[in-house]
Each structure stands twice: as structure tokens, then as C-alpha cells.
């Protein structure tokens, strides 16, 4: 008799903060960013400051990143339907990946422009740069705080947050550059600040690309040790062997596990399956599991195998 127990578990993808609250924080940050970006473009053109214009361009990508995050959240909230058995949850990961690529592209553009301006620096109005940057620090600090209130466990939200955090760093660097130009007249400080901002963008972009590719390549979620999970499953009473153990992430905060478990013949498959599902949920936060549970059965011994020196047949699943 075959025992094939499957547990599809319960999917727990709840946020500490509701998706509606996340959207409100993102929309509030978007309003601040767009309003200030328009003013910064005007001042950057008047002051001929590459640092300010690069900040404005980055703020445009900030706004785009937030809009993209909002769209991705809306799509990801749609229920599973038809061939999309997990719904469109992974759209959030696409959004994070696009944010990472955007940061890299911007970093490359700013490096090229900064090098050109370092060689041939234009006159920079240090006073205008400093005042605008100080205001920008306040605006971006508030917008960054808004996004920090959303659920940053979502790689989608984290992508938008990294854009704003880098923009905050950019404003700080720009303020320092403006002060240097104002106090010393060294206009190349503007280009140096831009290079520092570009490095920060590249670093943040790499983090988003790395984490999004882990999801697309179906690697185990960061922080989960598959070997430890395998050891814990083997340690459950009655478990003889574990096959085809897979741990992956559909989207941020949605880990999945599937495994084939072989039990001793005297074990209750249903009870052990429930025990293992509870262990995975409590110890590792994995609530969506697919567990196939079978009994071992000793095979009939071939008389030829009784000859001296013959090895017993391996166990096989029932």
C-alpha cells in the first residue's frame, strides 16, 4: 500500500504594515520628490552645477522608482489566476531589478560627466548650490523616513528606498561641495562630489541586482541554511531519508519548500507530515510547503544475494 501525503501548507505573506499603508507612505514620498525636483532643475541650470543637475536626474529616477514600486505592488496584489499560479508576485522583483540597473546606468553617466568637468570645470555658484543642497537634505530625509515606514522586507520597497537613501547622500555631498566652492573657490569639488555619489549609486545598484537575481535563479532565501534544514528534517523521529529538498523564494518574504520524505514503516505519515510542516514554519518561517511522505519497505531478498560476500539490497520506498 502506498502512502503519498502532500502538504501544500498555508501561505503566510503578511506584512508587518498593510499594503495600503505601504502605498500611502510611497505616495507621500513621491509628492515631496517631484515638487523639489522641479525646483532643483531650475537652480541647477542657473548655478551651472553638475552636482545639482545630477541630483535632479537622480530624483527623477527616485520618482520613477516609486511609481514603479506602486505599480508593482498593485500587480502583485492580484490573485492567482489561470496559468499564473502564484499570481504576479514576482513583478516586485522585476521592479527591484530595474531599479538596480537604473542606479548603475546613472552611476556610469555621472562618472563620465564628472571626469569631463574635472578636466574643464565651469564656474559654479557655490552659494546657490549650498542652499539648494541643504534644503534637499531636509526634503530627502523626510521622504526617506516615509519609505522607512513601509515594509522594507519587500525588495520592491527596498529598491525605491535605496534610490532615496542615495539621493540623501548625494545632497550631503553636494552641500559639502557647495561649501568648498564658496569658501575656497575650488570648483572641482562639484565633480568630486558627483564621483562619490556615483560610487554610492553603483554599490546600492549591485545590492539590488544581487538580491533580485537570487530570486530569479531560485536560490534559497538569504539567511536560510539549506544544509541545516536538511539536518533538522533527518533528525525528526521516524525519518529515514530526505530526497529532492528544494528551498526557493517566489518573491520577497514568500519562501517555499518541497521535499520527499521516507519514513520507517511503523510511522504515521500524516502525523509526521504535520509535525514537519509545523517545524518548518516555527523554526524557519516557511509556511508554504509541499511534502511528499512515503514509507520505506524492505525489498524481497533475491536468493542469489544470499551467496557469501553478497551485499544486502538497498532499501527502496514503498
Report the candidate in 59, 30, 64 with the shortest Cα–Cα distance to residue 143.
Answer: 30
Written as nine digits, the cell of 242 is: 530526505
257 sits in which H/E element: strand 255-263
Euclidean distance between CA atoms 55 and 197, whole angstroms: 9
Written as nine digits, the cell of 206 is: 549591485
With a pLDDT cut of 70, the percent of the chain lying above it is 84
Helices (H) and strands (E) in the chain, counts: 8, 5
243 sits in which H/E element: strand 239-249
Estimate to the nearest angstrom the gap between the alpha carbon of 31 and the chain centroid.
24
Euclidean distance between CA atoms 42 and 45, whole angstroms: 5
Pick the CATH number of 19-216 from 1.20.1510.10, 3.40.1110.10, 1.10.3720.10, 3.30.70.360: 1.20.1510.10
Instruction: Say which residue the cell 525528526 belongs to.
Output: 236
C-alpha angle 120/123/125, rounded to 5°?
Answer: 145
- Of the two residues 302 and 270, the one the predictor is more confident about is 270
Confidence at 58, pLDDT banded by 50, 70, 90? low
Average pLDDT for 52-77: 80
Contact 167, 140 (CB under 8 A): yes
Instruction: Say which residue the cell 517545524 belongs to.
Output: 279
Residue 154 DSSP label: S
Domain residue limits, the chain:
19-216, 221-298
Question: Among the residues of 49-89, which ranges form H helices?
Answer: 50-76
**Around Cβ 212, how many Cβ atoms within 10 Å?**
25
Contact 243, 267 (CB under 8 A): no
- Of the two residues 80 and 211, the one the predictor is more confident about is 211
What 3-state class would DSSP assign to 242?
Answer: strand
- Judge if pTM exceeds 0.75: no
pLDDT at residue 78, as a whole number: 83
Contact 179, 84 (CB under 8 A): no
pLDDT at residue 301, as a whole number: 52
What 3-state class would DSSP assign to 75?
Answer: helix
CATH topology of domain 221-298: Alpha-Beta Plaits (3.30.70)
pLDDT at residue 12, as a whole number: 38
pLDDT at residue 299, as a whole number: 56
Contact 187, 122 (CB under 8 A): yes
Amino acid at each position: 500500500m502506498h502512502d503519498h501525503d502532500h502538504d501544500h501548507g498555508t501561505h503566510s505573506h503578511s506584512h508587518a504594515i498593510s499594503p495600503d499603508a505601504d502605498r500611502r507612505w510611497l505616495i507621500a514620498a513621491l509628492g515631496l520628490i517631484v515638487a523639489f525636483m522641479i525646483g532643483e532643475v531650475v537652480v541647477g541650470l542657473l548655478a551651472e552645477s553638475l552636482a545639482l543637475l545630477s541630483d535632479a536626474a537622480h530624483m527623477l529616477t527616485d520618482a520613477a522608482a516609486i511609481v514603479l514600486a506602486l505599480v508593482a505592488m498593485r500587480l502583485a496584489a492580484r490573485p492567482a489566476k489561470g496559468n499564473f499560479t502564484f499570481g504576479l508576485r514576482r513583478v516586485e522583483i522585476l521592479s527591484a531589478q530595474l531599479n538596480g540597473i537604473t542606479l548603475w546606468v546613472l552611476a556610469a553617466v555621472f562618472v563620465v560627466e564628472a571626469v569631463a568637468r574635472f578636466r574643464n570645470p565651469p564656474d559654479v555658484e557655490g552659494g546657490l548650490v549650498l542652499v539648494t543642497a541643504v534644503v534637499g537634505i531636509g526634503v530627502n530625509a523626510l521622504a526617506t523616513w516615509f519609505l522607512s515606514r513601509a515594509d522594507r522586507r519587500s525588495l520592491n520597497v527596498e529598491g525605491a528606498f535605496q534610490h532615496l537613501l542615495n539621493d540623501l547622500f548625494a545632497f550631503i555631498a553636494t552641500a559639502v561641495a557647495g561649501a568648498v566652492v564658496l569658501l575656497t573657490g575650488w570648483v572641482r569639488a562639484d565633480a568630486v562630489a558627483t564621483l562619490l555619489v556615483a560610487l554610492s549609486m553603483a554599490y546600492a545598484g549591485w545590492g539590488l541586482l544581487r538580491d533580485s537575481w537570487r530570486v530569479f535563479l531560485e536560490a534559497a532565501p538569504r539567511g536560510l541554511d539549506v544544509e541545516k534544514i536538511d539536518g533538522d528534517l533527518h533528525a525528526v523521529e521516524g525519518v529515514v531519508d530526505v530526497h529532492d529538498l528544494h528551498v526557493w523564494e517566489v518573491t520577497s518574504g514568500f519562501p517555499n519548500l518541497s521535499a520527499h520524505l521516507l519514513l520507517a514503516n511503523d510511522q504515521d505519515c500524516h502525523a509526521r507530515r504535520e509535525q514537519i510542516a509545523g517545524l518548518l514554519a516555527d523554526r524557519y518561517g516557511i509556511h508554504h510547503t509541499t511534502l511528499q511522505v512515503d514509507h520505506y519497505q524492505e525489498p524481497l531478498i533475491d536468493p542469489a544475494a544470499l551467496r557469501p560476500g553478497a551485499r544486502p539490497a538497498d532499501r527502496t520506498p514503498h
